[in-house]
Structures are given as C-alpha cells and as structure tokens.
Structure 1
Amino acid sequence: MFRVLVSAATLAVSSFGMAEAQEFNDGSWALVIHGGAGVIERGAMTPEREAEYRAAMAAALERGEAILNANGSALDAIEAVIHGMEDDPLFNSGRGAVFTAAGRNELDASIMDGATLNAGAVAGVTQVRHPISLAREVMDNSRHVMLQGEGAETFAREQGLEIVPPAFFFTERRWAAMERTLISLGLDIPPRPDGAPEPTEIDHGELDRDAREHRFGTVGVVALDRAGNIAAGTSTGGTTAKRWGRVGDSPIIGAGTYANNESCGVSATGTGEFFIRLTVASRICALVEMQGLDLQAASDQVIMDELTAMEGDGGIVALTASGEIAWSFNTPGMYRARLSEGGEPVVAIYGDED
C-alpha cells in the first residue's frame, strides 16, 4: 500500500501551507474547511481536475457563508457545508466514498458543539445519504454519543433522515481503486454491488493520482457563529479496501473532531490510527487552553512535531472563539479553504500556498 514518508523534505514543503493566524472583532463569524490531505503536488493533476477541486472548495465556503451571514448557528453551517461535500464524488465522503474489501461503502461522521460539549458520531453506516446529519441527530435526540452499523441506520429511519440504496454511493473510480488494492493484497474481488451502473473504462493514471492525493479523503469543517460559539464536524468513507469493520479517527470525539468554546475547534484528516493514539483534535485544544499557546503553534506542535515523530501523516484545520484560524499538515498538500466575515475567501491545495 502506498504510504507518505514523512521526511525533512516533506516538512519543508508542508510548512508553507500553514495559514497565518487571523483575529476578528467580537460578533464576527469564521469558517475553515478541509477536503483531505495527501501527496498533492503541482503538475500531478490536470488543470481541469484542479479547477474542479478549487471550485468545490469555494462552493463549500459559500454554503457556510450563507448560513452564518443569516445569523445561523455554527452547527447549521457545518451541516450545510458537509452535505454538499457528501454529495460530491470528488471527495471521500458520502457519494464519493471508497469501498471496503467487501465491496461496501461504510461511512463515518461526527459533530461537536463547543458551547455545550455535546457531541454525536456514527460509524459504518451504508444507507444514510448524509452521515453528518445522522451524527447531529445522535447528539440532539439520543442519550448517546456514538452509534454504529445497523443500529445507527435504525435510528436514522426513526428520525426521518433520507435513506438511499447502497448503490447511491457508487463511483467507478473508487470501485476500480478497491479492485486494484485487493489484487495487490492477493485478496478476492467481491461482486459488483446490486444496482451499480454498467462498468466504464477508468484512466489508470487517474487511479495512481488518487492513491497519492486522496489517501486521506476525509472532509471536515470548523465554524464560529456570531453568537461566539464554535462547532466542528467531520465525515469520511474511510480507507480503500479496509477490512474487519475498521474505524478511523473521524467519528472519534477528541481524535478526529473536537470543539470547545474555551479553547478551539478542530477537524482532522490523516492516518486515523495515529490520530486516535495521539488524540490529535483535543490535544491541540488542550495546548491552547492549558498552556496558552496560540492556535498555530499548538497545531504545529501536534502535527509537525508529535504526529511526525510517531510517523503518522495528515493534517487539521482549526479555529478559536476569538477568531484565530490555523491549518497544519505534514503531507505535501491538503485541500483547504477559509473565510472570515468581511474578508476574502482563501482556497489552497498545495503546500506552498497560503
């Protein structure tokens, strides 16, 4: 399996991708988004595909902006942003999710309210169109924090969420990527899912690029609303050809998602096993709250130093209630965007962009 090697050269490239911290006045909103991290390098994508990703990230900002400008909550903004990304086959969440070794799309998501520390998460769902909304229903309308599998889908039906057939999530390039991975592992290829479209030809150069660029195809958002509340949310399809019901960090509160008005909100993307072991999201916020580090310094300590020392790879986006925005990643690139009220949107892909 392809793996990003974290090296001094990688760190040098990635350090250019860390956003400058920003402060805004009280009562202003802010938004920061990621669409996954990986070996995303200039010249690897066609200009057309690069334009598609930049447009998708800009559209995600616009969805969040519309909610926040109308005095909507940070939680509502997160749902609106992630809904669009879950429906966009460019991203590894919802309709663009990767396949497990069993030929299924198993979706994970989580959301957290920084005002109350309430949180909700789901893992391994296969028929819920918008897992991020199911995570919010778990937070708002159950006694629990995390539901998984069939139980989570039963709860989704009880809450009236949109249920779709598993083939709704099918994309040819993700199926082809799963086939190629299983062949490399010497494992059997499962039957094509019921209801999937007829096979179409896939550009194998495109699969090579996907393997490098979209290894961590998680999407995530942190939002600050005009009331001064932070929320964070994350949604993913996991890793290609994952086995045995593997669950990564995205639905784990404190690892892939965390929000607390007293410190910060964080959404992560990367090799989930490392993010779980390091409790990346809550660790960054603890450094802000307990040690008084500014958000960028805390983010860099955890991602560039501690995660890298463990040979883990990936990145985060983060935001404080005072309006400080940061992102940090130890891979050559990460799809990312930010916008603060009254400011200009920033969309970036490569490590040498602000």
Structure 2
Amino acid sequence: MTARSFGPVIVVHGGAGKAATDVVEARRAGVRAAVMNGWQTLTAGGSAVEAVEQAVKMLEDDPAFNAGRGACLNRDGEIELDASIMDGRDLAAGAIGAVKRIVNPVTLARAVMEAGGPILLVGEGAQQFAAAVGIQECAAEALVTERQRARWTALRQECAESVGTVGAVALDRAGHLAAATSTGGLPLKAPGRVGDSALIGCGTYADDQLGAAGCTGDGEAIIKLTLAKTALEFLREGEEPMEAARRAVRELTARTGAEVGIILLDRYGRIGVARNTAQMACAWIREGNIDPEIFD
C-alpha cells in the first residue's frame, strides 16, 4: 500500500533540554510564531527551503532561544554560531560554523548552499564570504542578551540549565523537502568548537527520496551516530516516521547516554518527533489542520 501525501507540512523545534521556568511559555509562543511564519511561506507558494529559512530566522531573532540573538556565550564570553540548510530536491546543502556578528546564520548558510562551492565554511572564511555576498555584520553586543550574560557568569561556577538548537523541516506543495538548523552551541564551549548543527547528516538532512530531519541536544553524541541521516535510513527500512524518530533516539541513548531530540518528516509529509530530555518545544502545521499543534 502506497502512503498518501499530506500536502504542505512544516515542523519546528526550539531545542531539547531543560528550560528555565521563566522561558518555557516564551518558547512555546516562539515556536508557534515560527511555524506560522513558515506555513505562510508555504501557502504563498514558497519552497520548502524558503519555509524552513523563514521559520528558523524567526527563532534566531527571538531571545528566548539559543540561536542568533540570545545564543549562549562561549568560554571567552563571545557568541559563535553554527547553522546549516539542505534542499531535498538535489541534496544541495550549505553550512557555517563558529561565525560571529551575524544576526541570521541560517541565511548565511543558505547563501553558501546557493553559491554551489564548498558546503561548509567556518570562522573567518565564513565572515569573508558573508561580506562578499552582502550579508552585513552586526556589533557583537547586539547578539548578547542580559539573560545570557548573567547565565554565563553563573555557569562559570556551576552548570544548571540545558538548552539546545533550533530547527525546522518542511514539505512544500511540489513535494520537495528541506531542513534547517541553527544554534549558539554549548554554554562555555571552547572557542572554535563546531557541533552537529553545522554538519550535514548529523544535525540536518533532507532528501526527497527519504525525508527531512533536524536534531538538537548533545552535538558530540549526535555527530558520532550521524543522527539525522540514521533516522532517515530507518524510514528507508520501512519504519513509520514516529517510530523512526523514537528508534534513532533509543539507539543514541543506548550507545552514548546523551540527551537529544529529533524532528522529521517522511517523503509523504508524515511527522516523527522524539526526545529523551525533559522538554523540547515543538510546533507543526499541516494541510487540513492549520491551527498549530504545540507540545513540549
């Protein structure tokens, strides 16, 4: 029996982990706004790539999330950002790592993808590319929130709250899939550290023949199992999307004990979501049910 396509679908997440009580509602509101933004792009005839970029940009602009403005600070008290995006039509992908002073890293990742050269640019090379394509830098302090500065100071003494990545996966009216991910990384991370969010197949993957997936959580563990691609291979084996997501998280938990979450779509637009963390704010919209479904 052939699965039926559900038409346009978009799913977003705001990161796996335990959020402070004062930001839980802010994140629920944030994923709702982001999924609505991506859905509007899809219903206006936009592509899946455009939809995931627009959704993730909204999360990057929201200081409640660990991406763009509001990202966590590294060991030196600076913000370094990772992001990636992938187009399931032709496996085109773009990613950036350890960039500074860029308001919307996902847009820079898309520019890398569309340039058609290297897939991953990091550090100063990524900054130079941004300037070459007209993506302006902002002041470093423009990305730092009072909350994250206070958190950095506290975490230097004792780690407490855990926050993750943001991301989106979408299926457009033409049946094409895309995924995008963005993050500030780990609190107090070593300068120059790049996690799974910038690595295609680890934090992000999209293939029209399989599905689209986005991951969040312990980046080093996600890298070890190339989690996004692994989850999609479970779809190839015939797993239903929800079970594929759960199986991927179970396997990573068994092998590493790390905390992670994943969102995915199969090529028919069926949704899979799983986590082994206390929370993972998510929202989705699909054709025939345009009121966002939101859950933690």
Q: TM-score band, normalised by the shorter chain?
A: over 0.9
Equivalent residues in 2 for 1:228-243, closer than 5 Å: 228-243=175-190
Q: Distance in 2 between matches of 1:216 and 1:262?
A: 32
Mapped contact 1:230–1:265 kept (Cα < 8 A): yes
Task: Name the larger-Rg structure.
Answer: 1
2:32 corresponds to 1:58: yes
2:62 corresponds to 1:88: yes
The answer for the alignment partner of 2:252 in structure 1 is: 306
Mapped contact 1:130–1:162 kept (Cα < 8 A): no
Equivalent residues in 2 for 1:24-173, closer than 5 Å: 25=5, 28-40=7-19, 45-46=21-22, 49-173=23-147
Larger RCO (alpha carbons 8 Å, 6+ apart) = 1
2:199 corresponds to 1:252: yes
Structure 1, unpaired ranges of 5+: 1-22, 185-207, 350-354
SS at match of 1:76: helix
1:24 Cα offset (Å): 6.0
CA RMSD of aligned residues (A): 1.6
Equivalent pairs: percent with the same residue?
40
Normalization by structure 1: what TM-score?
Answer: 0.79
Q: Deviations over 1:86-109 (max 9, x none)?
A: 111000000010101111100000
Q: How many residues end up aligned between the 2 structures?
A: 293
2:184 corresponds to 1:223: no
Q: Distance in 2 between matches of 1:64 and 1:162?
A: 24
Q: Which has the higher strand share?
A: 2
SS at match of 2:170: strand
Mapped contact 1:308–1:330 kept (Cα < 8 A): no
2:270 corresponds to 1:338: no
Q: Deviations over 1:152-194 (max 9, x none)?
A: 011011111132111110111111221222234xxxxxxxxxx
Q: 2:263 aligns with which of 303, 306, 317?
A: 317
Q: 1:278 aligns with which of 225, 236, 244?
A: 225
Q: Deviations over 1:313-336 (max 9, x none)?
A: 110010112011010001121111
Mapped contact 2:56–2:167 kept (Cα < 8 A): yes
The answer for the alignment partner of 1:174 in structure 2 is: 148
1:244 Cα offset (Å): 4.2
Q: Give the counterpart letter for 2:288 in structure 1.
A: G
Q: Distance in 2 between matches of 1:277 and 1:87?
A: 30
The answer for the alignment partner of 2:239 in structure 1 is: 293
1:138 Cα offset (Å): 0.6
